[in-house]
Chain A
Amino acid sequence: MKKVPIYGLMAEFDSPAELVKAAHRTYQEGYRKIDAYSPFPIEELAEAIGFHRSGVPLVVLVGGILGCVSGYLMQYWIHVINYPINVGGRPFNSWPAFIVVTFEMTILFAGLAAVFGMLALNGLPMPYHPVFNVPRFAFATKDRFFLIIFSSDAKYDATATRRFLESLAPRSISEVPS
């Protein structure tokens, strides 16, 4: 039989609690290149696998500032520089009237930054991923909880790692072919 390279070892659990516990153990064990999958967000999980900074807020902040500045400058340029004309005797730079659009632009840019920033950081869309090769993984979007140790982890060793995972008393363990 042909030998496919292993992407990682995946353990399946029944409840979020077990998964979180297992993740903790794995991290303490010294594994770093690990990940966990759950059908709904579990705050503790990211902590457990040692993932702390999401980086999204910064992107949003930048987006917001960009929208705010560009929003006001657009109006200023249009009414003061490019085509100044008397409208109802109001000053060219009618800043109180320009606030609304500036505000809306801020929200728009920040909001889009949040969405696309998140997707980009998550590397989505990603049509193919090795974990999908595991048939049971389909339940990761229903009621099963998965922990994976990637073969690229320094501490990874086909037998030792499997033995370690078994010690976590998972429902099952499967190899993830890449």
Chain B
Amino acid sequence: MDDPPQVTSGGGRAPVIEPGYTFATITDKISSIVLTRPVSNGWLVGFGIGFLLTMMLLYAIGYLFLRGVGIWGVNIPVGWGFAIVNFVWWIGIGHAGTLISAILLLLRQEWRNSINRFAEAMTLFAVACAGMFPVLHLGRPWLAYWLFPYPNSMNYWPQFRSPLVWDVFAVSTYFTISLVFWFIGLIPDLATLRDRAENRWAAIIYGILAMGWRGSARHWKRYEMAYLLLAGLATPLVLSVHTVVSFDFAIAILPGWHTTIFPPYFVAGAIYSGFAMVLMLAIPIRKFYGLEDFITQRHLENSAKVMLATGLIVGYGYAMEAFMNWYGGNHYDNYLLWNRLHGPYAPLYYALLLCNLGFPQVLWFRKWRTNPGLLFLVSFVVLVGMWLERFIIVVVSLHRDFLTSSWGMYYPTKWDWMTFVGTIGFFMAAFLLFIRILPMISIFEMRTLLPEAKEVKAE
């Protein structure tokens, strides 16, 4: 073994991978989680909870389809409620995965190698959760396919001036690209599992998925190129997705929605909440599966820094929004600001400021930034805060708009809550399944972090 300094990329900072590993040990350590490690009680409990919540979700959805969207708290004027709030929240969470796997790849951030795999998985499941809501919130969900351009008997098409159609394209594209990106990344590791698996059936299934990958130099070259290009495409894509989501609001004429600052601060907010979710997943996992050597202090700290940065951008967004509402001098915008600060939902607005701007400032201090327990807490608070932000944007803008005569209030029903919590359960269940059947850390990319891998360049 060479001396550790080589493997750490500069400074006295923690390494991205603890010293003492070889190609073989990395491979065994990660693949064993999938191949040999027995199912633990902790996992069973977690999965059980997720499964039950998923069943609750299905019940809520079944009942929704039976009775209609009226079982929720939505009304006139508040035509959008929890459904859209949750949609924006989940889709935002998804963003971190693509950011880590694509943007950090382009930026040659080696530390991403040990977290990109499960971050991407997180993206997929989050987008899946998000994708449910636009369909569920329809008055006639069975006609959701009318939003896709298909030659139909009515000879009529989607209305491409509507941001909702943009959403359909943005989200479905985002999901597709994330899926293939994730799968491409998996192929070499699937090959590894194919060759490691003792269980014949496992070997066959992994073998089919690996598509006969054999690590030929030619393949690797094309592979790397394709991977790089995908990253290059995914980067503008991920930025566009939340921009488009923000258009749902920014395109409308409603005070509090009709704002040009939405796209940037939606994207920042997305990454903010995304990294919060990454930490909430990484911290327990590295502990539970003893992966502290691969997901090191360094990763936690970097993620924390990203959160701090994006959190400040979001804060700037709030400030500018408020300032423009006041400075713009438009009565309706002025009132929106007043209503946020003093209206019936004011407590939520203050809570939002506390969660997204107040508490996360502890991340300025390295001592706390490197404390997993505290990071976990901050991440949770930020996720709550980001959910509140979407609630403020959707509900508080709608419930008091232009004509005072049609002002109203929005109160979620138990069905709103069941659907929301249900998707969290679904997310949990899906993620726990993932870490049991696929390598949650990219094995081949970890190999490249080893000194032996770097020797080649050394010569």
* Shortest Cβ distance from B157 into A: residue: A78
Q: Are B229 and A114 in contact (CB under 8 A)?
A: yes
- Min CB distance B246 to A, Å, is 12
Q: Are B22 and A141 in contact (CB under 8 A)?
A: no
B351 at the binding interface (Cβ < 8 Å): no
A168 at the binding interface (Cβ < 8 Å): no
Q: Are B212 and A56 in contact (CB under 8 A)?
A: no
B384 at the binding interface (Cβ < 8 Å): no
The residue that B170 contacts in the complex, of A41, A56, A104, with Cβ under 8 A, is A104
- Min CB distance A94 to B, Å, is 5
Which residues in chain B, 154-184, are within 8 Å of chain A measured between CB atoms? 155-161, 165-166, 169-170, 173, 176-177, 180-181, 184
Q: Are A107 and B177 in contact (CB under 8 A)?
A: yes
Q: Are B226 and A17 in contact (CB under 8 A)?
A: no
- Min CB distance A151 to B, Å, is 17
Residues of B with C-beta under 8 A to A132:
214
The residue that A125 contacts in the complex, of B194, B211, B226, with Cβ under 8 A, is B211
Q: How many residues of A contact B (CB 8 A)?
A: 70
* Shortest Cβ distance from B184 into A: residue: A115
Number of A-B residue pairs with CB-CB distance less than 8 Å in the complex they form: 208
Given A108-B177, A122-B218, A141-B191, A40 and B445 touching (CB < 8 A)?
A: yes
B39 at the binding interface (Cβ < 8 Å): no
Task: Give the secondary structure class of A's interface.
Answer: helix
B110 at the binding interface (Cβ < 8 Å): no
B95 at the binding interface (Cβ < 8 Å): no
The residue that A60 contacts in the complex, of B212, B216, B229, B455, with Cβ under 8 A, is B229
Residues of A with C-beta under 8 A to B234:
111
- Min CB distance A126 to B, Å, is 4
Q: Are B448 and A41 in contact (CB under 8 A)?
A: yes
Residues of A with C-beta under 8 A to B240:
100, 103-104, 107
A35 at the binding interface (Cβ < 8 Å): yes
- Min CB distance A72 to B, Å, is 10
Residues of B with C-beta under 8 A to A94:
160-161
When chains A and B are docked, how far (Å) is the Cα of A56 from the Cα of B88? 35
B residues engaging A (CB < 8 A)?
A: 22-24, 27, 149, 155-161, 165-166, 169-170, 173, 176-177, 180-181, 184, 188, 191-192, 194-196, 207-208, 211-226, 229-230, 233-234, 236-237, 240, 244, 247, 444-445, 447-448, 452-453, 455-459
A residues engaging B (CB < 8 A)?
A: 15-17, 20-21, 23, 35-46, 48-49, 51, 54-57, 60, 74-75, 78-79, 82-83, 87-88, 90, 94, 97-98, 100-101, 103-105, 107-108, 110-112, 114-115, 117-119, 121-122, 124-129, 131-132, 137-143
